[in-house]
Structure 1
Amino acid sequence: MKTSSYEELFQKVRIHFLFHHPFLSVLALSIPTVFTTNAKSAFETNGSALEVDLQKLDRYSEDELTYLYAHALLHIVLKHPYRQKTRELKLWNQSCDIVINNIMATFSDVGAMPEDETFDETLKDKCVEEVYEILFKEQEEENQGSSEEKEDNEAKVTSDEKGKLQAHIYDESKQDIQEVADEKTSSGEQEKLNGIIIQALSIAQKNTTQYAGMLVEIDTLVKPEISFYDVLKEYLVTSAFEKETTFSKPNKRFAHMGLYLPGTKKKQEQLEVVVALDSSSSVTMEEYKKFLGVIAEVCAGFYEYKIEVLPFDVDVKKELIVSFDSFASLDTIDFHIPKSDGGTNFDAVLRYLKTTEIRSDDLLLVLSDGEFEISEHLVCQTLFVINEKKNMRKFEQFGRVIEFSI
Structure 2
Amino acid sequence: MAKKKADDRLTPNEQNLYAGMDIIKDHRLFGKLDINLSIANKGKYPKGKLNKGTAALACESGDILLNPDESRTPEQWAYIIAHCMLHLCFGHFENDNMPGYFEPQKDGTEKWAAHCDHDRWNTACDIYIAKFLADIKFPGAELPPQELTASDERKIYDLLCNNTEEERPFVFSTASHGHDMFWNGVENSWWRRNRSYAAEFAYALADSVRSVIDEAGGKTDNRKKTVQESAAEWFIAHYPLLGALASAFRITEVGYGSAAPMNTDISVAAINVTEREIYVNTAAGLDSEEWKFVLAHEYLHAGLMHHERCEGRDPYLWNVACDFVINGWLCEMQIGKMPVNGGLYDETLKGCSAEEIYDIIVADIRRSSKYQTFRGNSRCDILDKGYAESKYKPVTLDDFCRSALRSGLEYHTEKGRGYIPAGLIEEIRALSEPPIPWDVELAKWFEDHFEPVGKKRTYARPSRRQSSTPDIPRPSYVTEEIPEHSRTYGVIIDTSGSMSPEDIGLALGAVVSYSVEREVPLVRVVFCDATAYDAGWIRPDDLAGTVEVKGRGGTVIQPAVDLLERDKDFPKEGPILIITDGMIERDLTVHHEHAFMLPRGYSLPFRARGKVFYFSRR
TM-score w.r.t. length of structure 2: 0.42
1:310-331: CA deviation from partner (whole Å, max 9, x where unpaired): 2468xx9444545532575542
Partners of 1:389 and 1:350 in 2: how far apart? 24
Letter in 2 for 1:104: I
Name the residue aligned to 2:545: 331
1:200-252: CA deviation from partner (whole Å, max 9, x where unpaired): 68999x9776559x96x997896615153x544554467435235755479xx
Name the residue aligned to 2:291: 65
Summarize the Cα distance change of 1:120–1:110 in structure 2 as closer, same or farther, 3 Å threshold.
closer
Name the residue aligned to 1:26: 241
Q: Residue 273 of structure 2 aligns to a residue in which SS?
A: coil
1:300-319 aligned within 5 A:
305-311=521-527, 317-319=531-533
Summarize the Cα distance change of 1:301–1:10 in structure 2 as closer, same or farther, 3 Å threshold.
closer
8 Å contact from structure 1 (residues 241, 266) kept in 2: no
Q: Which runs of 5+ in 1 are unaligned?
A: 19-24, 139-157, 251-257
8 Å contact from structure 1 (residues 246, 262) kept in 2: yes
Aligned length: 348
Query: Does residue 353 of structure 2 align to residue 182 of structure 1?
Result: no
Partners of 1:318 and 1:391 in 2: how far apart? 19
1:97-132: CA deviation from partner (whole Å, max 9, x where unpaired): 4233222342322444434428598x996559x79x
Letter in 2 for 1:240: F
Name the residue aligned to 1:74: 300
Q: Percent identity at matched positions?
A: 12
Partners of 1:291 and 1:3 in 2: how far apart? 52
CA positional deviation for 1:66:
1.8
8 Å contact from structure 2 (residues 228, 251) kept in 1: no
Name the residue aligned to 2:371: 167
C-alpha root-mean-square deviation of aligned residues, in Å?
Answer: 5.7
Q: Of 391, 400, 403, which aligns to 2:614?
A: 403
Summarize the Cα distance change of 1:249–1:267 in structure 2 as closer, same or farther, 3 Å threshold.
farther
Structure of larger gyration radius: 2
Query: Does residue 325 of structure 2 align to residue 99 of structure 1?
Result: no
Structure with the larger RCO, 1 or 2 (CA within 8 Å, 6+ apart): 1
Q: Which runs of 5+ in 2 are unaligned?
A: 1-222, 255-259, 414-418, 461-472
CA positional deviation for 1:199:
5.2
Summarize the Cα distance change of 1:199–1:272 in structure 2 as closer, same or farther, 3 Å threshold.
farther
Name the residue aligned to 1:224: 435
Q: Residue 292 of structure 2 aligns to a residue in which SS?
A: helix
Partners of 2:478 and 2:616 in 1: how far apart? 39
Partners of 1:321 and 1:69 in 2: how far apart? 56
Summarize the Cα distance change of 1:328–1:245 in structure 2 as closer, same or farther, 3 Å threshold.
closer
Name the residue aligned to 1:114: 339
CA positional deviation for 1:73:
0.4
8 Å contact from structure 1 (residues 242, 266) kept in 2: no
Letter in 1 for 2:339: P
Structure number having the greater helix percentage: 1
Summarize the Cα distance change of 1:95–1:5 in structure 2 as closer, same or farther, 3 Å threshold.
same
Name the residue aligned to 2:257: none
Q: Residue 298 of structure 2 aligns to a residue in which SS?
A: helix
Query: Does residue 489 of structure 2 align to residue 273 of structure 1?
Result: yes
Query: Does residue 406 of structure 2 align to residue 195 of structure 1?
Result: no
Partners of 2:493 and 2:577 in 1: how far apart? 8
Partners of 1:27 and 1:2 in 2: how far apart? 24
Q: Residue 243 of structure 1 aligns to a residue in which SS?
A: coil
Q: Residue 187 of structure 1 aligns to a residue in which SS?
A: coil
Partners of 1:46 and 1:198 in 2: how far apart? 21
Partners of 2:409 and 2:232 in 1: how far apart? 22
Summarize the Cα distance change of 1:3–1:353 in structure 2 as closer, same or farther, 3 Å threshold.
same
Partners of 1:34 and 1:279 in 2: how far apart? 44
8 Å contact from structure 2 (residues 451, 518) kept in 1: no
Partners of 1:239 and 1:83 in 2: how far apart? 28
Letter in 1 for 2:295: Y
Q: Residue 524 of structure 2 aligns to a residue in which SS?
A: strand
